[in-house]
Structure 1
Amino acid sequence: MQKQLTLSQIRFSLFDSGSVGQQQDNNYKTIDSIACWSVICFLLGIGDRHNNNILFDPVTQTIHNIDFEAIFYHAKDLPIPDACDIRLTPFIIHLLGPARFESRFKQTSQNLLRIIQQNSHMFLTSFTAVSTMLSKNKTDIVMKIFENICSNIEEQYWVSINRSIDEIRLGQMFPPWAPLE
């Protein structure tokens, strides 16, 4: 089993990899993966995001989410529900660097949201197939996701990003999802 890296070890691996150009490339890979996973988690209602459900690959310099038990907004139905649509821990925010949500993260998120909207017909086909295997309650949620994709999701996404870093909202969450992660 591979040892879990600490935040400082991850930051060190991003910025101790040769030339300045290589370091910037590694940082961009990390930021791009964070942006992509944030969009995916937002669109599919994947909750229960905390540092134990997020892996860092030191070889590719990318972040990966695991444990998708709380998909389709299931985390909102837990005894102590998620308080945010997107969960960006201080650990993840730190990996974004000093620009945080501006520049690279914002550009990657906007590009991915645009691509998803332009290809919404592919999502409808996939969601239709998935919804036939789900209960009525979950089918409604899947259709809501598709409607969100076809609407102005970019504005909704940025509202969710801002909520995800609201310390008061984060402080109301169940201790394992606490803002100090």
Structure 2
Amino acid sequence: MRKFLSALVIMVVSSSVFAGHHKMGDHKDIVDTAASNPMFSTLVAAVKAGGLVDTLKGDGPFTVFAPTDEAFAALPAGTLDMLLKPENKDTLVQILTYHVVAGKVKAEDVVTLSSATTVEGSDVSVTAAMGKVKINNANVIKADVMAENGVIHVIDAVLLPAEVAAAL
């Protein structure tokens, strides 16, 4: 257990994706924190298209598993364009809320979890081994990016609820 915790701390401390940015004193909410980093431009566009900006600027706290632009680019060709169309807003909201957990779940809390219930209503699996954390099949590449109303964990894949994945 100590080795795991040490490895997790090393992973969190050594990641330089947000080096020196977005500490608790910055007073930015989750949306502003994501919008201030170009690696989340697709996520921010999707949150806007889904009408979730006001929700994610709310009091929270929220835990957001935030896919990078590269993660969105790895979706099958045409999927993102299809999801951003107004007629597919419900599916987009379902996907986005599958990336959000109510409450603030920091890296140190993950050792007690094997799953977490998302705002969408389904569970995501949480696995931690050898200093690496996965949410379903997505790797956490940066943990504990603190925002005024919660925490962001950067992931390298888009999480899809089972019924959405089956439809794609």
TM-score by length of 2: 0.24
Structure with the greater relative contact order (CA < 8 A, sep ≥ 6): 1 or 2? 2
Which is strand-richer, 1 or 2? Answer: 2
Larger Rg: 1
Q: TM-score under structure 1 normalisation? A: 0.23
